[in-house]
Every structure is written in structure tokens, then in C-alpha cells.
């Protein structure tokens, strides 16, 4: 696995290339609008300006979030990614509203469209490149759990998808000769662009408010379950906070009560190392250890040759989102216990 410095530099190279390509595609889209005079094409061109602005935002955000922790920011600077994602989403939403408004105006005051064949070809070219770049960047963002890359990737994919709708709309106008379809297509694209911006703002607010990402937590718990050791009797109060590309996990783990301080420390280190291997270097753990509580916990404990066992093991509890996230040992959760 590459070190964090190498990963950061690679992220920057990706974003720089995308930014330069985005500038070139913006020029292509405005040229397409100039030769077609189409509002639908204009909506695509206006969104490309946002691609450029958000590309700069993404580079700045990535640089700041990579700044080392300091006294004033003990958890690092990763939260800036949510702030920048929120700004990006707001700009996208405003562009969508502008496109809807202009298309509505031109329903009553129509404009002539022309050179649609060339416009379709240029739109296929620019939209296809954006879609390819977005898919590649999204895969990388998922691999490194990086919200800046994910926001930029989803924007590019959204741009590529809207280009598909634009191509269909331009083709219909070309085939039917109905110019009013241009305004209808522009409105539809404006709504999609606004929806994309809203979702990005929603994601940013959720991150700033430390809203639980249950899908992410479920994936993490599944990985922990796969590497589980018998000495890790119980896991609860499992919480995850995102700081940009870093995940800060704190949890309580129950280990045998008769372990001395050194043994307990070693067991916690084993747990932390196993989680880091399973989940990657983007994870930082804060683990609190609890002693087991015989005789009830003996029924769910799989530690072999325990001389202090009061009851035989009766069940093997599978760790899940439902029983690991509450701040209560699993055996005390009653009907929430899943066997």
C-alpha cells in the first residue's frame, strides 16, 4: 500500500489533469453553444464553468486537508473537504436554477437553433470524456475513502449523464424541427443539475454534523467480524467520525477480566493492528477496554480453556450495526441480540 505522501501526490496529479482537461472541454462546449444557439447546450456549457471552479476548490481542499495535525486542530484539517463540497453543491444548484429560468423565458421569447449535427458530435465528445474521467476518479475515491475526489467524480459523472440527455434532446429537435423542445430539454437538465447540487450539499452537511454513515459502519463492522478473535468477547459503542479521507473510530471492546494490564494492552494493540490491516491506513482508532462479566457473558464467550468460566458457551453472537453501535454490552441488549 503506498504511503500517505505518495497517495496525496497522486491525488493531486489526478485533479490537475482533470482541471486542465476541464478547461479544454469548457472551450469546446461554449463553441458548441456559439454555433448552435441552443439553450440546452448553454446549460451544459455553464455547468462546465462550475467544473473549473470546483476543480480549483478540490485542489485547495486536498492540500489543506493533508496539512498535518497541530495544537489547534488535533484531528487534522479534513473537515474542510465537507465545507468545499457544500460550496460546490451550492454553486451547482444555483446554476440549475439559472438554466431553468432562462429556458422558461425563451419559451415565450424563442431563439433559433442551428448546426445541430455538429453540436451533437461535439457534445458526444465532451460528455464522453467527462464520463470516463468521472468513473476513473470515483473508483479511486472509493479506494482511498476521499470525499474531495468523490465530489469531483460525481460531478463529472453527472455532467456526462446530462450530456447523454442533451444529445437525445438535440437529436429530437433535429428530427422533428420542433424548436420548443430545446427549452424543454434545458429545463430537464436544469432540474437534474439542481438535484445533483442538493445531494452534494446534503452530504456535506451530514459530514459536518457527524451524521452516522450506516453503510460505511456496516462495511467496517463486517471487516472486523472477519478478523475477530475469541478474546474479543464483545464490541459496542462503535462510532465513526469522518475527517476528510480519515476515519476516526472509537469503540469499547470486552476482553477477559483476569488479563493483567500488560496483557490487556497487548490485546488492544492486536485489535487495532488487525483493524488497520483490514480497513487500510485511513483508519485511526481509540479503543476502550472493558472486563467481561461472568456468569452471563460466559454464555456468549468462545475463549477456550478458561478456568474462570461459570457457564458453557451457548451461542456465537455475530457483530452487526444493530448490536455493535449501541452504548451497551450486547448481552444486555435483550431482544436486540442477534445470534
pLDDT tens for the chain, 339 residues: list them.
444 567 778 888 888 998 999 999 999 999 999 999 998 898 888 878 777 877 887 787 777 767 777 888 887 777 887 887 888 888 888 888 988 998 898 888 888 888 999 999 999 999 999 999 999 989 888 777 676 788 788 878 878 887 888 888 889 898 988 888 999 988 988 898 898 889 889 988 988 888 888 888 888 898 889 889 999 999 999 999 887 667 889 999 999 999 999 999 999 999 998 888 777 666 788 999 999 999 989 999 999 889 899 999 988 889 999 999 999 888 887 644 443
Residue 131's alpha-carbon distances to 33, 91, 106, 171, in angstroms, are: 20, 20, 29, 20
CA dist 162 and 19 (Å) reads: 19
Rg of the chain taking only CA atoms, in angstroms:
26
Q: Is 134 exposed, middle or buried (0-12, 13-18, 19+ CB in 10 A)?
A: buried
The answer for residues whose C-beta is within 8 angstroms of residue 105's C-beta and 6 or more apart is none
User: For 96-115, b where at least 16 C-beta lie within 10 A, e where not — what string?
Assistant: bebbbebbeebeeeeeebee
Note whether 337 and 322 are within 8 A (CB).
Answer: no
pLDDT given at position 280:
66
Output the 3-class SS for 301-312.
CCCCCCCCCCCC
pLDDT given at position 2:
47
Record the cell numbers describing residue 301, joined without a space.
464467550
Note whether 45 and 26 are within 8 A (CB).
Answer: yes
> Residue 117: left if φ>0, alpha if ψ -120 to 50, beta else—which one?
alpha
Record the cell numbers describing residue 42, joined without a space.
448553454
Q: What is the pTM of this model?
A: 0.71
Residue ranges and CATH numbers for the domains of the chain are: 4-208 (1.20.1510.10), 214-336 (3.30.70.1350)
pLDDT given at position 126:
92
Triad 182, 187, 193: Cα angle to 5°: 125
pLDDT given at position 186:
87
Amino acid at each position: 500500500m503506498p504511503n500517505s505522501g505518495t497517495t496525496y501526490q497522486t491525488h493531486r496529479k489526478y485533479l490537475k489533469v482533470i482541471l486542465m482537461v476541464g478547461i479544454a472541454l469548457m472551450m469546446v462546449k461554449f463553441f458548441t453553444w456559439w454555433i448552435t444557439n441552443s439553450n440546452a447546450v448553454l446549460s451544459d456549457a455553464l455547468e462546465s464553468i462550475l467544473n473549473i471552479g470546483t476543480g480549483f476548490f478540490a485542489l485547495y481542499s486536498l492540500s489543506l486537508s493533508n496539512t498535518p495535525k497541530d495544537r489547534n486542530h488535533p484531528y487534522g484539517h479534513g473537515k474542510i473537504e465537507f465545507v468545499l463540497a457544500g460550496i460546490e453543491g451550492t454553486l451547482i444548484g444555483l446554476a440549475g436554477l439559472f438554466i431553468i429560468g432562462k429556458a422558461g423565458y425563451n419559451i415565450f421569447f424563442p431563439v433559433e437553433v442551428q448546426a445541430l449535427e455538429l453540436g451533437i458530435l461535439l457534445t458526444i465528445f465532451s460528455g464522453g470524456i467527462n464520463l470516463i474521467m468521472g468513473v476513473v476518479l470515483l473508483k479511486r475515491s472509493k479506494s482511498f475513502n476521499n470525499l474531495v475526489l468523490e465530489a469531483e467524480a460525481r460531478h463529472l459523472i453527472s455532467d456526462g449523464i446530462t450530456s447523454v440527455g442533451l444529445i437525445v434532446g438535440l437529436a429530437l429537435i433535429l428530427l422533428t424541427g420542433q424548436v420548443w423542445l430545446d427549452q424543454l430539454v434545458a429545463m430537464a437538465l436544469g432540474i437534474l443539475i439542481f438535484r445533483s447540487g442538493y445531494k452534494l450539499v446534503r452530504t456535506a452537511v451530514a459530514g459536518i454534523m457527524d451524521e452516522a454513515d450506516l453503510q460505511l459502519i456496516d462495511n467496517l463492522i463486517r471487516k472486523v467480524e472477519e478478523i475477530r478473535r475469541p478474546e474479543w468477547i464483545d464490541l459496542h459503542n462503535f462510532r465513526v467520525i469522518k475527517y476528510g479521507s480519515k476515519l476516526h473510530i472509537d469503540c469499547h471492546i470486552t476482553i477477559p477480566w483476569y488479563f493483567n494490564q500488560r496483557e490487556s494492552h497487548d490485546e488492544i494493540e492486536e485489535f487495532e493492528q488487525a483493524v488497520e490491516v483490514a480497513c487500510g491506513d485511513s483508519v485511526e482508532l481509540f479503543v476502550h477496554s472493558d472486563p467481561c462479566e461472568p456468569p452471563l457473558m460466559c454464555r456468549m464467550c468462545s475463549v477456550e480453556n478458561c478456568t474462570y468460566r461459570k457457564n458453557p458457551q451457548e451461542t456465537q453472537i455475530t457483530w452487526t450495526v444493530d448490536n455493535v453501535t449501541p452504548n451497551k454490552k450486547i448481552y444486555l441488549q435483550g431482544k436486540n441480540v442477534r445470534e
